[in-house]
Amino acid sequence: MIPMLIFGILGGIISAVVAWPYGFIAAFAAYVVGGSLCALIPGVLQIRSEARAEARRDLAASVKASPVSEER
């Protein structure tokens, strides 16, 4: 995750140097935002999937631990 962020920042710096008179701030911001999104989106998706898996495990454990009445 961090290497992609660093890649985005370095790409922004390089584009700022290359595009100096033509909107270097916009180019830098685009690369920083792009690099940040490339780093953060997979992390957020992983956190969400782990949270869902944990919720499923908790639900399964609570169902397993709940007393079941056997009526005949």
Instruction: Judge if pTM exceeds 0.85.
Output: no
| Domain residue limits at 45 | 2-61
DSSP, collapsed to helix, strand or coil, labels residue 10 as: helix
Domain total of the chain = 1
Q: pLDDT tens across 2-55, in order?
A: 676 777 777 777 777 776 766 767 777 777 777 777 777 888 888 899 999 999
- Whether residue 57 is contained in a domain is answered as yes
- Whether residue 72 is contained in a domain is answered as no
